[in-house]
Amino acid sequence: MIITKKALPRRTFLRGLGTTLALPLLDAMIPAMTAVAATAGAPARLRRLGFVYMPMGCDITRWTPPGADTLDELSPTLSPLAPVKKHVTAITNLELRNAYPGTHATSNCAFLSAARAKLTESTDYYLGTTVDQIAARHIGQETQLPSLELSMDLLSTVGQCDNGYACVYQNNLSWSSPTTPLPSEAHPRIVFERLFGEGGSAADRRAAMKKRASLLDSVTDEIARLRTQLGPADRERVGRYLETVREVERRIQKAEADARDHILPDLDRPAGVPASYADHARLMFDLQVLALQGDVTRVVTFQLARETSARTYPEIGVPDPHHPLTHHGNDPAKIARMAKINRFHVSLFAEFLAKLAATREGDGSLLDHGLYLYGSGMGNPNLHDHTNLPILVAGGAAGRMRGGRHIRYAEPTPLANLHLTLLDKVGVRLDSFADSRGKVDELFEPLAI
C-alpha cells in the first residue's frame, strides 16, 4: 500500500443520493509509520457478537457429537459443519430453568434473557434485558446501528399464543428492557435500506430506492475518488466488498421481479422476499455479512423461524409442518423428518460461517474477530423441556477462542453462564447474568504456542 502519515477514519462512508455506504476495515485506516499502527486498527477492537435461534429444539441423539472433548467426529445433524468445525465448539448439558413450566413462548424469550416471563395474555408483559442488548450498550455505540434484529417470518401474531403467554414472547428474541421487546425484520429490502439508507420512514426509504437503479450507481464519483487514496490491496478489498453489495442488490431486485411476474396466492408475503426458504435465509445471512464487514453494526440476532412454526420444507423432502413433527410421540419416522429440518438449519449456518471465514479483515477474517451463538431454548420438543439444549459457539474472538471442541457438562449448567462469558469476551464485565453461577472458562482456554 501507499505509506502516508494520515489514515482514513474507521468511520469512512461513501455518500450518494439518499445513500450512506460504510466501508470494510482497510489498511489505509491504520495509521502508518507510527506507534499507533499496531493497535488503532487492530481487529481485536472490532468485537462482534451474533445470535442465531433455532426453534423447537431437536433430536438430541442426532445432535450430540460422539467425541468426549473434540469435534473430530461430527453427529448426523452437525455434519454440515465439517468445513468450518475448527471454528466451532459444541456445548452439551446447558439448561434454562427460568423457561419452565415448559412452553414455546418461554423457550424463545428466555433464550437470550435467561429470565422468567410474566404469565400474561395482555400488554403488561415483563421479561428481562437480553444479552445482545447489554452488549449493544457497550460495543454498539460507535456504529450506525447499535444492534440488528432479523427473522424469517413476516407475520407476527398478537394476543395469546401459548398457554396463557402473550404472543410478544414468541415474536421477539431481543428485549432492550424487561418491558421493551425489539421487533425483528424479515424483509430483505427493508433490511438493506436500513443498513445503507439515510433514514426517514420506511415509505420514504422505499420511494428513495425507486429513484435510483442501484445503491452503487449513486456513489460512483465517491468510489472513484476513494480509490485514488488507496493502495492496490485496499482497492482490491473495496472492489470485492462492492461486488458483494451489488450481488445482494441483484438478488433482492430479482425476488421483487419474480413476485411481480408470478402472482402467488400468498397475500402476506410482500414483494422482494424469495419464495424459497433457503434463498431467503441465505440472503438474510449475507446481509449480516455486509453489516459486519461495513461495521454498520456489531450485534446481530436472527430467528430462523418462530416457535410453533407450521413452515414446511419441501426443498429437502419434508412436506410436513415443522411444529407437529416436534410432537412426534417417539414415532421414528417423525423424529427422522424433524432431524432433517434441524440438519438443514445447521447447514445454512455453516454456509454463513464459511462466508465470514472467507471475508478477510486485518490480520484475519470476520469470523476470527467475532463470536456467534447458535442454538435453541428448547431441548426435547416432545416433552417441552429446557435442559440439554442444542448449543454451538463459533468464531475466534480475536484469537481468544479455539474451536473444534466438545464441552460436555456432567450436570445441568445454566445457559446464563455462557451469556456471561460471551459478554466478558467482548469487554462487558458483569458479576452475574440472570441465574448464572459462573463462566464457561473452558471455552476460551489459552491457545498453544
Percent of the chain scoring above 90 in pLDDT: 58
Q: Give the Cα separation of 57 and 54 in Å (integer).
A: 7
Q: Strand 405-414 vs strand 48-53: parallel, antiparallel, or unpaired? A: unpaired
Residue 206 pLDDT more than 90? no
- Residue 142 is predicted with a pLDDT of 82
pLDDT recorded at residue 258:
56
Instruction: Name 247's Cβ contacts closer than 8 Å, sequence gap at least 6.
Output: none
Helix extents (H) in 114-181: 131-139, 168-171
| 66-114: pLDDT as tens digits | 998 999 999 999 999 999 999 999 999 999 999 999 899 999 999 999 9
pLDDT digits 0-9 by tens, 283-314: 999 999 989 988 889 999 999 999 999 999 99
Cα–Cα distance for residue pair 355/366, rounded to 1 Å: 9
- Split at pLDDT 50, 70, 90, the class of 19 is low
Mean pLDDT, rounded, of the chain: 83
Q: Model confidence at 278, in pLDDT bands (50, 70, 90)?
A: very high
Q: Is the pLDDT of residue 43 over 50?
A: no
Instruction: Write down all domains in the chain, each with its CATH number in brackets.
Output: 13-31+41-444 (3.40.720.10)
User: Residue 115 above 70 pLDDT?
Assistant: yes
Q: What is the pTM of this model?
A: 0.80
Contact 53, 61 (CB under 8 A): no
| DSSP string of 166-231, one letter each residue | ETHHHH-SEEEETTEEE--B--HHHHHHHHHB--S-HHHHHHHHHT-S-TGGGGHHHHHHHHTTS-
- Are 23 and 396 a contacting pair, CB within 8 Å? no
Q: In whole angstroms, give the CA distance from residue 15 to residue 144.
A: 14
Helix segments in 230-305, DSSP class H: 232-261, 277-293
Count Cβ atoms below 10 Å from residue 153 Cβ, excluding itself: 18
Stronger pLDDT, 90 or 206, i.e. the higher one: 90
- pLDDT given at position 266: 38
